[in-house]
Amino acid sequence: MSDMVAMTLAEADALARKVLESRGLAPDHAAAVARTMVAGERDGCASHGLYRLLVAANSIERGVVVPDAVPVVSEPAAALVRVDGKGGFAQLPFERGLPLLIEKARKFGIAALALNNVVHFAALWPEVEALTDAGLVGLAFTPSHAWVAPEGGTKPVFGTNPIAFGWPRPGGNPFVFDFATSAVARGEIELHRRAGKTISPEWGYDSEGHPSIDPKAVLDGAMRTFGGHKGSALAAMVELIAGPLIGDMTSAESMTADQGRMGSPIGGELVIAIDPAGFLGASVDEHLGRAEAMFDAITGQGARLPGARRYVARAQSDAQGVRIPAALHSDILALLEGEMA
């Protein structure tokens, strides 16, 4: 028996929607969440792909997420958009706020979107890529649960606190990077646990503060930031600008609000959109061309642009579909039967 299961992207999307709706998620939310999961799987980001169905189902089952929440869009200021997610997953609130964010960025040159009161489990690159599709530069930030110790400590304070950036490129794929400020994504540690593999001792500490290669010990203890104090500083920045700045939770507050349910993080997200033409006017093409010279200088010496691997995986998935571990596929099917494998 093969240890992998193949499916087309359409089949992956249909499976994700079916599972989510079977767990009680409203169809509009299920569609938005499924799109994000399938995009992760398509782009070779397994820890943000269909595996996240198990994560989402857990959050729904434990009452962490409001399954039929109706997002409310408002405009607190001329160049600002706020979407109150009313406790639902973040994907639909983002989709509801995106058109107004794009409109304001084009009108004012720069605009920001605050997502409040949402449940977040996904990578941020789909958000900034949606902005680059509109010809805008994008940045996105969100805290999570307090899973990560500050540099020099061993007790959790920060979330994995990802940062994403997107730059539109004429005639080609945008330059997009998305990385956690932790040494590795939490989902990556969980995938190692599921596969019975050890992890790098640089990834985190056990509950007693000792470096550990046991993924479960680190999941129960504390993860580490990447790059030492630099990652720690960036994690603190994300806590501030995507927490108190937009009137939402820090990672520690999110963990408290979870009340031991082990659900996905609760809180907010800050998205910033910048229109290059707003700064550059008629010379926008000239200056975007100068950016292309920098990209050429990177790739011309054999270096890889961050995010490039996703586009290679995307092209392959578009042509051949995706393959997921049979054990994961079995666990996903078990959700349709009302039980976790």
Q: CA neighbours within 13 Å on the CB side: how many for 6?
A: 8
Active site (annotated) includes residue 254:
no
Q: Strand order of the sheet with strand 175-179?
A: 72-77, 80-84, 110-119, 266-274, 137-141, 163-167, 175-179
Q: CA neighbours within 13 Å on the CB side: how many for 240?
A: 6
From the candidates 47, 144, 212, 251, which is the catalytic residue? Answer: 47
Q: Which residues contact 124 (CB under 8 A, 6 or more apart)?
A: 140, 141, 142, 162, 163, 164, 178, 269
Does residue 257 contact residue 89 with C-beta atoms inside 8 Å? no
Beta bridge partners of 4: 325
Active site (annotated) includes residue 48:
yes
From the candidates 41, 188, 239, 269, which is the catalytic residue? Answer: 188
Query: Sign of torsion, CA 272 147 255 236?
Result: negative
How far apart are the C-alpha atoms of 188 and 257, rounded to whole Å? Answer: 24
Active site (annotated) includes residue 329:
no
- Of 36, 115, 98, 33, the residue nearest 67 (C-alpha): 33
How far apart are the C-alpha atoms of 234 and 157, rounded to whole Å? Answer: 13
- Residue 44 in tokens: 């070779």
Does residue 247 contact residue 271 with C-beta atoms inside 8 Å? no
- Residue 141 in tokens: 């930030």
Segment (H or E) for 164: strand 163-167
From the candidates 48, 120, 192, 329, which is the catalytic residue? Answer: 48
SS3 label, residue 341: coil
How far apart are the C-alpha atoms of 80 and 282, rounded to whole Å? Answer: 25
How far apart are the C-alpha atoms of 16 and 13, rounded to whole Å? Answer: 5
Provide the annotated active-site residues. 47-48, 188
